[in-house]
Amino acid sequence: MSNKLISQMGLPSSLANVFSARNILTAKDALSLPEFDLMALLDVDRDQVRTAVARISEIACPPCRTALSLMEDRALTGGYLPTRLLGLDRALRGGIPFGALTELVGPSGIGKTQFCLKLALLAALPSSYGGLNGRVIYMDTESKFHSTRLIEIGRSSFPHIFNSEGMAQEMAGRIIVLRPASLDELTESLQQIQLIILQHDVKLLIVDSMAAILVGENERSTTGQKQHSCHLPLSFLKSLAEFSQIPIVVTNQVRSQNNYEVVHYPFQGIQWAHAVTIRLIFEAHSGQRFIKISKSPTSPAIAFPFLVKSSGIALLSDEGLEVTGSEMSTIRCEGLNVLVEGAEPFPHLGC
């Protein structure tokens, strides 16, 4: 919209010529200048500038929709990918939302990848089994994707599907794993993914994890250097989600030095944090692991205790524990030895 050309907006040709003569070619060029500056630059009177700006604005303005039509659209696309964790789905009013960015954050080894593997399967399942019957793109930046574990989760959770002839192959075949070797490769692939999503009927995109990119962004913002609009990947992913109306899930790491640290993740100070619609914090304390809904438009902050089983994540209780105040955004890493970098250990046995 910002890049719409003034020459194609139907302004009277004398006026249109003046704009292009002064190198004001797009809506963005024209609207970035205050009215007075435009008058001086174009050497036309105020009324003419006002009429021109009104016309340019009308065209560059995004279309107006009523909330009712938004609701009707939602009803058409289904709107959610249920996680099959009853308490979580109930709190999120359905599950992981389409058209939005969901972030999973927590210390290494806690179960975020396990959660992602299950989601990938759920999206691949045929609709008769409650799935989205589509392909999944899994961007694995830290080599944590283990296909044996994926099949194990599948066999444990949906034995009737996975034990029938060829289904395991079919389901696993729908999950496309990309392994970008560097930060640049990751950003590049994100650019191309938009097309892939449309052409290959992709119903879910998972980025596990975004940590490498976000560390870079974080550093830039805290040193106070002016941020130019280089690729802020999360904002890009968010627009991608809105455009393609699929759920996009990203995971994020926190690192603690010792076993009892409480990490105060400075979500408020970081611009990209606003791009996320739902934030689930995975944390450990009091000898248990919890999935905590830290940010959600439809749910208060509640935490569910969970275990990791052979069938993936299982909630120990569907009634959450209410969480208030600053606890909503802290991440507790008690009892998790996170000094070992690299692949998550298989936490089959829970804790």
Q: Give the β-pairing of 312-315 and 321-322.
A: unpaired
Task: State yes or no: residue 286 binds other proteins (CB under 8 A).
Answer: no
Please give the C-alpha separations between residue 10 and each of 7, 14, 127, 312, 326, in angstroms, as whole numbers: 7, 11, 48, 59, 54
Contacts of other proteins in 173-232 (CB under 8 A) = 222-224, 227-229, 232
Compose the 242-261 pattern: x for residues touching other proteins by CB under 8 A, - for all others.
x-------------------
Compose the 1-20 pattern: x for residues touching other proteins by CB under 8 A, - for all others.
xx------------------
Q: How many angstroms separate the first and last alpha carbons of the chain? A: 52
The CB-of-325 to other proteins minimum distance in angstroms stands at 4
List own/partner pairs for 19-24 with CB under 8 A and 24 or more apart: 19/52
Residue the block writes with tokens 């700006």 = 53
Give the integer Cα–Cα distance in Å for 120 and 157: 13
175 vs 275, beta carbon nearer other proteins: 275
Q: Which of 21, 43, 67, 192 lies at the binding interface for other proteins (CB under 8 A)?
A: 67
The CB-of-243 to other proteins minimum distance in angstroms stands at 10
Q: Which of 297, 316, 345, 351 lies at the binding interface for other proteins (CB under 8 A)?
A: 297
Task: State yes or no: residue 105 binds other proteins (CB under 8 A).
Answer: no
Is 265:118 a contact under the CB 8 Å cutoff? no
- Which of 84, 121, 122, 115 has the alpha carbon at shortest distance from 344? 115
57 vs 164, beta carbon nearer other proteins: 57
Q: Which of 9, 15, 25, 53 lies at the binding interface for other proteins (CB under 8 A)?
A: 53
How many other CB atoms are found less than 10 A from the CB of residue 172? 17
At residue 249, what are phi and psi to the nearest 5 degrees? -115, 130
Binding site for other proteins (CB under 8 A): 1-2, 27-28, 31-35, 37, 53-54, 56-68, 70-71, 74, 79, 90-91, 93, 97, 100, 222-224, 227-229, 232, 238-239, 242, 266-269, 271, 273-275, 277, 294-295, 297-298, 300, 302, 319-320, 322, 324-326, 328-329
